[in-house]
Structure 1
Amino acid sequence: MTLPEPTAAPVANDRDRTAEVPPPLTPDATPAPALTAEVAPPHTPDATPATALTAEVPPPRTADATPAPAAEVPPRRTPDATPAPAAEVPPPLTPDAIPAPVLAAEVPPRRTPDTAPAPAADPSEAVEPAAPSQPQPPAQPQPAPSLQPPAPVQPPSSLQPLAPPQPSAHPQPSSPAPVQSSWSLQLPAPGQGAVAGRYPGPGWAVVLPPQPRRSYVWGILSALLVLSMLVALGGGAAAAWALRDGGGAPSGVAWVDVRDEAGGKAVDAVLERRTAAVKSKSLDAWMADVDQSDAAFAKRQRQEFANLIRMPFAELRFERTAQPATKMAAYLPEELFRRYHAAVKVVAVTVRHRIDGLDGRAVATPWLAVFGFAAGRWVIAGDGNGKDMPTGARGQPWDSSGAISIVRSDRVVAVVSKTDGGQALLQMAETGLRRVAEVRPGGWDGKVLITAVTDKQIFDTYFAESQDRVGQVAAIAVPYYESVAEWSSRKAYATTRVVFNPTELNAPTAELQHDLTHEFAHAAMGPVTGPYTPRWVVEGFAEYVAYRDGKYNSAGIRAALGGLEIKTLPSNEQFYAEPRNYIGGWLACRMIAETYGQDKLVAFYEGFLRMSEVDSVAREVLGISRDQLEQQWRDYVAKQRG
């Protein structure tokens, strides 16, 4: 059935209810802590607080060593040594004790006896051991200056080499912070953050752990990765992305321009090649812009191409549609965010098409295309998903996971699974169109596209929020416009597509015939269905057309209505909560047609394009008030019940 409201979900037949579009998923905006947890801050001689480290880090001892007294700079002692003065410089470490990279990167310059001592012998300055062949004489103890140390830093429980940093998953951000025109990157100060406690306290000859390879690269790449994620999801101009080889440690940094005039042009070029590939029926050209590292996605893309070239298109274009980056980020699958390390985005694509001999104007359907940056270019990496997707996304006949075939007549194009004949369905469709034309001969194309494939996902897409109701719905009529309704403020009606529930395709012939006629009635009234058309009018009119040739006695009507109380016409919110409202709406429309004429019923339906109230339309078209209309309806139902 067609939707009264252009942006609402499609309307189903007499056994369905409309599916409301659920709220968006937003990725988690918290950057992965594992990346920043391995970044070591720059070490300066005056950066590490003396008090905190001397209180927490024990000095290295030999097996027979006696603990040194609590002094400001304790000396190193041997089993038979006489205690040295408090400020004695410890003996040098052997080359095997300190790896060369660490000595070069983290040990302060060596001091000789001729070197002038620092003014006050700042206890925060680490004492460098002398060369192995030249022990240094003890330095004269200096009084420690009075300093107010910051909060104590908790050192690690043991001074073991740090494990190499491991890559971590990046959850999707939900509400990215506004992107500023400039960026200021601040690394944690020494003694703060997750890397606190790596530096030994002053005066202790501690064996430093070996430095992880390229830890400084990790710091740079981690910070750039987090910032680029915010830039990309927040609609920034360009970003630096950390790239990895085979999912391991970062191997480099790539500057990815994501501006519309740069990244957008690359995406446009991909979409143009995609259009040309379908027209030329070139699978190689189609797959050239697909990331084939995901075998399952590559297989779906090949099937989609095979289905597209079977469709009788008179026109087909893939067009990028400008949408806010934060809005599109809600449809980004988390696994693709991790796979491309944030160098990925969801692009709103309008699939503009026209079926040959069927559509009088181009029809716009949505595609949420995921583009990832790989090997220096943008490629198609997947499909967006989640709640609150635009109507029709992943619900088109070419989205079927299996092969399709086309059966058609002058007024009907039926897309069925390749194993189905489809001829019986085509004959019933022609009968349904004839019945609709008897009530509404003009005002619409009089032609329709039916999707009746066995892939249940195509039908279920329209019931994303209420999957439990899918089994109650035989078919739906989906209105489409010249632009995607959710992406445009100006929507011009184009056509209505009918989608069948594959589980209902084996229903009795009479039931299938009723369903087809009901949905075709929605298609016929689609151009005059507006946001103010009441549900009881929309569904009641479709039931009136479907039941028009039948003869129904009082017993059948009583059984159908059951104990439904007829008082006032149901509101839109109430209508689908009670399936028997379909029968009540049908009887209201039949009463109008029998009392005022069938043309008046059509005019009553069309009146809601100009007016929003039942009372106003009833007065203009029927010459009665709403209260009078409801009284006539109650009397008519009571008579039909017998």
Structure 2
Amino acid sequence: MSPLRRLLVRALPLLLSGLLAGCGAPAAPAAPDTAERAVRDAVAAWARTPPAQLAGIPLEGWAYEVSAVRRSGAQATARAELHYRLTGYDTAPAGSAREVRLSRDGGRWRVTGDRPAPGAPPQLWDQGPVAVVRGAHSLVLGSGQDAGTLSAVAAEVERAVPAVSAAWPGPWAGRVVVLVPGSLERMAQLLGRPAAEYRGMGAVTTGRVGAAEAPADRVVVNPEGWAQLSSAGRGVILTHEVTHVATRAATSARTPLWLSEGFADWAAYRGGTTTPQQGAPALGRAVRRGELPGALPADGAFAFGGDPEALARAYEGAWLACRLIASRWGDAALVRLYEAAGREPLDVALRETTDTDPPALTAAWQASLRNDLTAP
């Protein structure tokens, strides 16, 4: 046998083992080394107790799940997901992507800082000390706000929750968490969106669609928009947002925005004396100019950051559509329509709950706009 052939024969088992390894299942990820395990253990030990500045917030299930560790000498950074619940309010853990910084001191790792992960929105406590106001139906958390403002927000929520329960008889917790940041810019940071999208708005609600997808509802107040509202306006805004919290479990991607936004306004105005001309000034101006809408507002009409006049017309038209349904077929039919529209196509839901269809509803809505918004 030639020397070359003998070399190939000796190498064959090694070649085969390499090929077989490549054809098999992927190799298991390497276990963390000793230093990485020490970093993970340090984060776990540090996270067993929430920070002292959160002592007034009712927290449970506080935990950091580390996904990656990066070390550089005596410094380390751990990427982690923070999980927690607000006791009595959250049905499942809220999540927040975090970056935990550590340093090695005397052979042991010690946490030196915690901040939102790059690109992740902050938590309210990242913006400064948090003050807490509790009510029978509310938990108001504020940063950079005076006690009077937080108490006023809590008082409005206490009035809004019973009003919403009267409009929405379906099951819901009957409790609301409200965040009041120090400025419009800080509100936008919490929501991870440009501040311009919320300018002029009093409040927004997070986590409205899909109970399993968004366990942590929060009403977030825009302090600048809030300051510009009358007492009645504040009541309408918070009742509208609390309605979104109450109806979230019945809301899905199927639910048209004209129905979800219109229902929230209907609940907010329900039982009051606001007339269509008073509550729909922008749409009234358009109708009197001869610009009657050709269809119920499309989902895109409710996008933030666009033409404020067009956005106002969309909300006003949605309210008047729901007002029409309640007046013609009854409050209970409107509630049943909302529930059905989250499960099935709108035409099916309308037929089952009102014995009508989208074209007929649109025609009736247009007629009501002519009648209600053009009268002297």
| TMscore range, shorter length | 0.7 to 0.9
Structure 2 matches for 1:446-457, cutoff 5 A? 446-454=174-182, 456=184
- Cα deviation, 1:412-458, whole Å, max 9, x if unaligned, reads 11123463233322221111112111111341100011112325554
The answer to whether the Cα contact below 8 Å between 1:346 and 1:384 also exists between their aligned partners in 2 is no
Selected match of 2:42 from 270, 284, 293:
270
* Residues 1:622 and 2:344 are matched in the alignment: no
User: How far is the alpha carbon of 1:614 from its aligned partner?
Assistant: 1.9
Aligned pair partner of 1:363 in 93, 105, 111: 93
Deviation at 1:549, TM superposition (A): 2.8
- Three-state SS of the structure 1 residue aligned to 2:61 is strand
Judged with a 3 Å threshold, the aligned counterparts in structure 2 of structure 1 residues 589 and 608 are, in CA distance, closer, same or farther, namely same
Q: Give the Å deviation of 1:541.
A: 0.9
Kindly provide the amino acid, as one letter, of the partner of residue 196 in structure 2: D
In the other structure, the counterpart of 2:85 is: 353
Separation in structure 2 between the aligned mates of residue 441 and residue 466 of structure 1, nearest angstrom: 36
1:602 partner amino acid: V
Q: Is 1:539 the counterpart of 2:255 in the alignment? A: no
Secondary structure, counterpart of 1:471 in structure 2: coil
Q: 2:122 aligns with which of 374, 391, 394?
A: 394
Q: Which structure: greater strand fraction?
A: 2
Distance in 1 between residues matched to 2:292 and 2:64, nearest whole Å: 51
5+ residue gaps, structure 2:
1-20, 23-27
Q: Deviations over 1:486-523 (max 9, x none)?
A: xxxx9355342111112234333222211111110111
- State the number of aligned residues: 333
Counterpart position of 1:223: none
Q: What is the rounded CA distance, in whole Å, between the counterparts of 1:439 and 1:407 in structure 2?
A: 26
Match of residue 477 from structure 1: 205
The residue number in structure 2 matching 1:512 is 234
- Give SS of 1:628's match: helix
Within 5 Å, which residues of 2 pair with 1:175-190? Answer: none
SS where residue 277 of structure 1 aligns? coil
Q: Distance in 1 between matches of 2:35 and 2:298?
A: 48
Q: Please state how far the C-alpha of 1:464 moved relative to its aligned partner.
A: 3.5
Bigger share in helix: 2
Please say if residues 66 and 78 of structure 2, whose CA atoms lie closer than 8 Å, have aligned partners that are also in contact.
Answer: no
| Residue deviations 1:257-296 (CA, integer Å, cap 9, x gap) | xx55867744543343233333xxxxxxxxxxxxxxxxxx
Aligned equivalents of 1:616, 1:260: Cα separation in 2: 55
Contact 1:271 1:318 in 2 (8 A): no
Deviation at 1:594, TM superposition (A): 0.8
Matches within 5 A, 1:57-96: none
Kept in 2: contact 1:404–1:453 (CA 8 A): no
SS of the residue corresponding to residue 429 of structure 1 reads: helix
SS in 1 for 2:198: helix
Pick the aligned partner of 2:138 from 412, 419, 428: 412
* Structure 2 residue 240 is the aligned partner of structure 1 residue 468: no
Q: Is the 8 A contact 1:354 1:362 kept in 2?
A: no
Q: Is the 8 A contact 1:268 1:319 kept in 2?
A: no
Higher relative contact order (CA 8 A, sep 6+): 1
Q: What's the CA shift for 1:603?
A: 1.3
1:386 Cα deviation after fit: 4.7
Offset at 1:588? 0.7
Secondary structure in 1 aligned to 2:255? coil
Partners of 1:630 and 1:457 lie apart in 2 by: 39
| C-alpha distance 552-310 of structure 1, shift in aligned 2 (>3 A) | closer
Question: Closer, same or farther in 2 for the Cα pair 1:609/1:640, shift >3 Å?
Answer: same
What does residue range 371-390 of structure 1 map to in structure 2 within 5 Å?
Answer: 371=101, 374=104, 377=109, 379=111, 381-387=113-119, 389=120
CA RMSD of aligned residues (A): 3.4
- Cα gap change, 1:621/1:495 in structure 2, threshold over 3 Å: closer, same or farther? farther
Task: Flag the 1:565–1:306 CA change in 2: closer, same or farther, 3 A.
Answer: farther
Q: Which residue identity lines up with residue 591 of structure 1 in the other structure? A: L
1:438 and 2:173 aligned? no
Q: Look up the equivalent residue of 2:363 and give its one-letter code.
A: Q
CA distance in 1: counterparts of 2:138 and 2:280, whole angstroms: 36
Deviation string 1:462-484 (CA, Å, 9 cap, x unpaired) is: 45443322322221111289xxx
For residues 450 and 534 of structure 1, do their structure 2 counterparts lie closer, same or farther at Cα, with a shift above 3 Å needed? same
Q: Hey, what's the Cα distance between the residues in 2 that align with 1:341 and 1:565?
A: 69
Instruction: Mark the CA change 1:268 to 1:466 in structure 2 (over 3 Å): closer, same or farther.
Output: same
Distance between the aligned counterparts of 2:36 and 2:292, measured in 1?
58
* Residue in 2 that maps onto 1:6: none
| Structure 1 runs not aligned, ≥5 long | 1-180, 183-235, 239-258, 279-304, 330-336
Give the Cα separation in 1 of the matches to 2:364 and 2:74: 63
The one of 312, 315, 328 aligned to 2:58: 312
